[in-house]
Amino acid sequence: MSETTKMTISALQARVEAIFCKAGLNAVQAGALARVIVAGERDACKSHGVYRIEGALRTVKAGKVKADAIPELVEQAGSAIVRVNANGGFANPAFELGVPVLAERARSCGLAALVVNDCTHFSALWPEVEALTDQGLAGLVMCPSYATVAPTGGNKPLLGTNPFAFGWPRPGKSPYVFDFATSVAARGEIELHRRAGKQLPEGWAIDADGNPTTEPEAALAGAMLPFGGHKGSAIGTMIELLAGIMIGDLTSPEVLDYLGTTTLAPFHGELILAFSPEAFAAGRPGDPFGRAEVLFEAIVGQGARLPSQRRYVARAKSESDGIELTAAEMAQLERLEALGLDAVA
Amino acid sequence: MSETTKMTISALQARVEAIFCKAGLNAVQAGALARVIVAGERDACKSHGVYRIEGALRTVKAGKVKADAIPELVEQAGSAIVRVNANGGFANPAFELGVPVLAERARSCGLAALVVNDCTHFSALWPEVEALTDQGLAGLVMCPSYATVAPTGGNKPLLGTNPFAFGWPRPGKSPYVFDFATSVAARGEIELHRRAGKQLPEGWAIDADGNPTTEPEAALAGAMLPFGGHKGSAIGTMIELLAGIMIGDLTSPEVLDYLGTTTLAPFHGELILAFSPEAFAAGRPGDPFGRAEVLFEAIVGQGARLPSQRRYVARAKSESDGIELTAAEMAQLERLEALGLDAVA
């Protein structure tokens, strides 16, 4: 029976940050990257936690991300677009640099967009959505991925799992946040089925000939399917257009061409829209935040759940009791601490 | 065997406009409303064509829309929000008033939002999306509806069928446009199954007790389900928040409370986002319009379809050969011409 180890959020932050520094990341890269990984562990999103460090190091070692990049704000006067060039580094420090400017711009213009270009994308989108709701703004975030999803009616990978995330601020409460892949399942879930020797549910994937399959191996050699049929396929396509092509960054097929693998973190851009509910509601009856609570109460009141609630429960526990890591997770952390980049292929 | 009648697009426009004028609509209301109805017929979207005139007249007769409303631009200097108050009229003339200002604002700011408040919403969203792509802009349009859809995990109508529409301009070609309900099916499709005495496909609806049903009657007394499970439910909720609450207008449950029926056109607001691809792509490699064509070719090249293609084929035929109306449609048109508001209950 394996033991678990508890540590405070700040202790884990320091350890993960140290791993990244040792691997050659500069302070802004290491700090921002550690923050999203620790947020994943804190919220019991294990697939975005300590588990992810190795993938980041692998991408560094492969030379596909600049470990010492300094993100740069590209000013566009009079525009509602705030642009940050990640300069080949991870998206996270670029996002952190852009958020205060985005928030100010959204407040003055009513809405504004943050474009992050030339970044390696690494984390879930909900930490970014929450950075906006923390500022009292509603946020919509999207980005491409690698080509692993066939458009509805097609038979080959083209679209990415293209995440789509949204947040609405709830004063005094955890925000309303959703963050999901526009594929039926995440690629990692198919990999988990493969390892467990389990069949996939129907409707997740097609094989290399374009036929429906429930075999994980066949699915990995074929393509995943969009969620919700042609509607999800259309949203995935919209994300390629807005958060790839429109912002002058790579689409999912271009990312896969560039990397040649899905085992490294993808290199592309990201589009973040921020809305000021105060500005949009100005001069209109009712308080938007109070009215939103009525809607949320009606959802919960009929037994439906608001998204992200499991994360918030885990977060409260982590904040009071510390983050719990399994013996295997501790071993991996210690291995990465000891070996640094030598720990990855 | 019933005959069909052909008439030019402008001839149908004149006849539909005359029906609305006779029913008491002023020139801006009648013209804008007729344009979306004629666009529906032109594109063989029969559910948004001549068939819809009666519902508009019913809403006028019930006193739930102001037939003589003059929409009004509410200037917000320095803002990326363009607001038009429909002043209790139909959304369409308000949208037409706002579009040129929205387009100018999107070009100067990179992105901008058009908010339409206090309107009766009547048409599909694709004509509005196309008004943006006609200007070389990408567009995202959404609005609430009536409470007829249960959130995933719930058992009572709360969300609307909340349409979500997007467009990307294709120079020299018909634009990439999608426009769909965030419910699995439209309410009209359930009504059609009921009339035909046919069972519904599984997954469309629940009965009044919250149990899955394939009985149309039970579904109409119960609730429809969102497309794509919890993901579609989340998008439907986002639309209530952004295009209802944030813009200071009614949510789907509030619309149903206000009207007391789903047989009249809903009264609420609408949110239209416009993006300038040139502004977003400025300083970045590649031409966004050319790159988008590569993506579209890859979609079509694997046998998948782009949305709206059936509409464009029908449109080309209508433009060259005229719009074709069945004998029943002609009879309805003539009845509405003769009787005006007396034709509706």
Contact residues, chain A, for B231 at CB < 8 Å:
178, 180, 182, 227-228, 232
CB atoms within 10 A of CB A280: 25
Q: Is the pLDDT of residue A99 over 60?
A: yes
Convert the pLDDT of each residue in A214-255 to its tens digit.
999 999 999 999 999 999 999 999 999 999 999 999 999 999
- Judge contact between B175 and B297, C-beta under 8 A: no
Convert the pLDDT of each residue in B260-271 to its tens digit.
988 888 999 999
Hey, are the CB atoms on A248 and B283 less than 8 Å from each other?
yes
- The pLDDT value recorded for residue A2 is 65
Q: Is the pLDDT of residue B153 over 80?
A: yes
Convert the pLDDT of each residue in A54-74 to its tens digit.
999 999 999 999 999 999 999
- Judge contact between B73 and B82, C-beta under 8 A: yes
Query: Letter for the amino acid at B228?
Result: G
ipTM of the complex: 0.97
Q: CA B174, CA B130: separation in Å to the nearest integer? A: 9
**Interface test mutation site (partner B, options A295, A296, A300, max chain B beta carbons within 10 A):** A295
- Structure tokens of A28? 């802004």
pLDDT band at B159 (very low <50, low <70, confident <90, very high): very high
At residue B265, the 3 state secondary structure works out as coil
- The pLDDT value recorded for residue B2 is 65
Convert the pLDDT of each residue in B67-100 to its tens digit.
999 999 997 777 999 999 999 999 999 999 999 9
- The pLDDT value recorded for residue A320 is 97
Domains in chain A, please, with CATH? Answer: 1-61+308-345 (1.10.1530.10), 79-183+226-307 (3.30.1370.60)
Convert the pLDDT of each residue in B269-317 to its tens digit.
999 999 999 999 999 999 999 999 999 999 999 999 999 999 999 999 9
**Interface test mutation site (partner A, options B295, B297, B305, B308, max chain A beta carbons within 10 A):** B295
Please provide residue A265's backbone torsions phi and psi, each rounded to the nearest 5 degrees: -70, 140
DSSP-derived letter for residue B123 is S
- The pLDDT value recorded for residue B46 is 85
Q: CA A216, CA A196: separation in Å to the nearest integer? A: 10
Residue B232's closest chain A neighbor by CA? A228
Convert the pLDDT of each residue in B135-145 to its tens digit.
999 999 999 99
Q: Closest Cα to residue B169, out of B132, B209, B141?
A: B132
Q: Is the pLDDT of residue B47 over 90?
A: no
Q: CA B30, CA B226: separation in Å to the nearest integer? A: 34
- The pLDDT value recorded for residue B123 is 87
Phi-psi label, residue A75: left if phi above 0, alpha if psi -120 to 50, beta otherwise = beta
**In the beta sheet, which residues pair with residue A63?**
none
Q: CA A81, CA B26: separation in Å to the nearest integer? A: 39
Query: Letter for the amino acid at B239?
Result: I
Cβ neighbours of residue B229 closer than 8 Å, sequence gap 6 or more: A227, A228, B152
Mean pLDDT, rounded, for B57-64: 95
- Judge contact between B48 and B124, C-beta under 8 A: yes
Hey, are the CB atoms on B237 and A295 less than 8 Å from each other?
yes
Mean pLDDT, rounded, for B173-196: 92
- The pLDDT value recorded for residue A188 is 79
Convert the pLDDT of each residue in A291-335 to its tens digit.
999 999 999 999 999 999 999 999 999 999 999 999 999 999 999
The secondary structure element, H or E, covering residue A323 is strand A323-326
Contact residues, chain A, for B284 at CB < 8 Å:
117, 247-249
Q: Is the pLDDT of residue A137 over 80?
A: yes
Mean pLDDT, rounded, for B160-166: 97
Of the candidates B78, B246, B284, the beta carbon closest to that of A248 is on B284
